[in-house]
A and B are shown apart, each in its own frame.
Chain A
Amino acid sequence: MDMSYQEWSIMGSLAAMLVVYGYYFAAVLRHDGQLEFALGRLIFAVIAIVVIEIVYHIVLALETHPEPKDERDVVIEAKAYRNAYFAYSTGAFLVISAVIAAGLARVAITPFLVVNLVLLFMVLAEVVKLVTQLLYYRKGF
């Protein structure tokens, strides 16, 4: 498949996000309610993402011909951010609704759950952004 530098870059970021945060959420689900454990894993996940991204982009720069973003890249990124914003807004609305509903029903909703739900929707929004970019690069607009 003839892919541009930008597409390879996005593919790498997407793979890193899915693997690292997939590991994070799988780990915290097994330690339900342990906020300190989640914080440790979150710090590890953020550092892992940064390291993977740096190493991947160094290798990518050596293997391909890095090109600066042009107007099409910028337009595609803007459209992707629009979809990501929609995904994140929806997530924020759902979390707020859940907290209010739990308060009304006098059901305890833990900081652990709220923090991880917000984080989940942040990750999902980023995934939506990256997938949208890949789709627009392939399909055009």
Chain B
Amino acid sequence: MAKANIRNNIRRLRFDRSEMTQQELAEKIGVTRQTVIAIEGDKYSPSLEVAFRIARVFGVPLEEVFQYDAPDSQVA
């Protein structure tokens, strides 16, 4: 099972926003706390819609929340 090459800064963004809890973030974006834990731990890549909701909660562009490390073979 290939791991996704997507990293995220959700943990840092949560702490920058008055230490928002995972439960609070989960409620704001409409998923369970377990899913937020999985996203933070790079164990689950969310849908585009949830990714945008996360970015909107923190008031930052999507690229500040998620970064994609393309394998060398896929770099144009």
Contacts and interface: CB of A to CB of B under 8 A. Distances in A.
Interface of A: 4-7, 67, 70-73, 137, 139-141
Q: Top 9 closest A-B pairs, CB basis?
A: A140-B43, A4-B34, A70-B31, A72-B35, A67-B32, A70-B32, A71-B47, A70-B35, A72-B44
Q: Is the interface of A mostly helix, strand, loop or mixed?
A: helix
Contacts of A67: 32
A139 B43 contact: yes
Interface residues of B, number: 15
Contact of A140 (B30, B31, B33, B44): B44
Q: Is the interface of B mostly helix, strand, loop or mixed?
A: loop
Nearest to B41: A140
Given A140-B43, A141-B43, A141-B44, A72 B31 contact: yes
Contacts of A139: 1, 43
B61 interface: no
Contacts of B50: 71
Contacts of A71: 31, 35, 46-47, 50
B38 A140 contact: yes
22 contacts: A4-B32, A4-B33, A6-B32, A6-B34, A67-B32, A70-B30, A70-B31, A70-B32, A70-B35, A71-B31, A71-B46, A71-B47, A72-B38, A73-B32, A139-B43, A140-B38, A140-B41, A140-B43, A140-B44, A141-B1, A141-B43, A141-B44
Contacts of A137: 34
Contacts of B43: 139-141
A72 to B, nearest CB: 4
Nearest to A71: B47
Nearest to B33: A4
Contacts of B35: 70-73
A72 B41 CA distance: 14
